[in-house]
Amino acid sequence: MSATEILRKDHEQIKRLEKVVSKCYKELYAGKKIPISDIEKITMIISEFLDSIHYSREEDSYFPCVASYDSLKKEIRTFLIEHEFGRRIAQTISKHLSRWKNGEDAREPVARFLRTYSIFLNDHISKEEDFFAEAEKTVLSKEEEKEMYEQFSSVMAITKKIEDMIKEIDFLENQPWFKD
């Protein structure tokens, strides 16, 4: 296994989450009932898996390593801006979700920002995968791939956290509103 493969594996889970997000906003627009606690699970997975683990693997290790070769810098700058954009959309979803929980009707903005998040994820992830292919083929050495891989998988607390997040995605995929 290499660092790039680990990031691709993260993306497989993120794509599962994107399908959940996408189904969720469509059902909300269609007026179907979705427990607020399920939407809270989505925002929790975004904050604990995407924002805290996956983006930091990219921002703190992978991107700096690629940039140290003076390569793909423009792409990396774009990805960093997009991560911030993603974090802001996620905060906006949470804000409207807590209004909704407190009795205001915030179904429409929650649906709208979930939709924005889904579009952001699809676009960001597909661009990054082209970037991974390029970095893997032309920039990173085998040693760097191995070193970062070891760094990614050495923190047991993070490995455990990812397992928990995958279980949460399993849970969401098994809810009636998702399966219908």
**Segment near Fe ion (CB under 5 A), from 25-33, 35-43, 45-53, 125-133?**
125-133
- Residue with CB nearest Fe ion? 128
Q: Closest separation between CB of residue 26 and Fe ion, Å?
A: 24
Q: How would you label 53-84 residue by residue, b for 16+ Cβ within 10 Å and e otherwise? A: bbbebbeebbbebbeeeeebeebbeebeebbe
Shortest distance in whole angstroms from residue 7 CB to Fe ion: 6
Total residues in contact with Fe ion, by rule CB under 5 A? 2
Between 128 and 144, CB nearer to Fe ion: 128
| Of residues 15, 17, 19, 6, the one with CA closest to residue 53 | 6
Closest by CA to 69, choosing from 142, 138, 139, 143, is: 139
Nearer to Fe ion, 34 or 53 (CB): 53
Which residues 6+ apart lie within 8 Å of 8 measured at CB? 129, 132
**Residue carrying the six token digits 């809270």:** 40
> Between residues 106 and 152, which has the closer beta carbon with respect to Fe ion?
152
Among 128, 135, 165, 172, binds Fe ion (CB under 5 A): 128
Of the candidate spans 20-28, 37-45, 126-134, 151-159, the one that interacts with Fe ion by CB under 5 A turns out to be 126-134
Residues 41-70 that bind Fe ion (CB under 5 A): 58
- 23 with 70: CB under 8 angstroms? no
144 near Fe ion, rule: CB under 5 A = no
Contact residues for Fe ion, defined by CB under 5 A: 58, 128
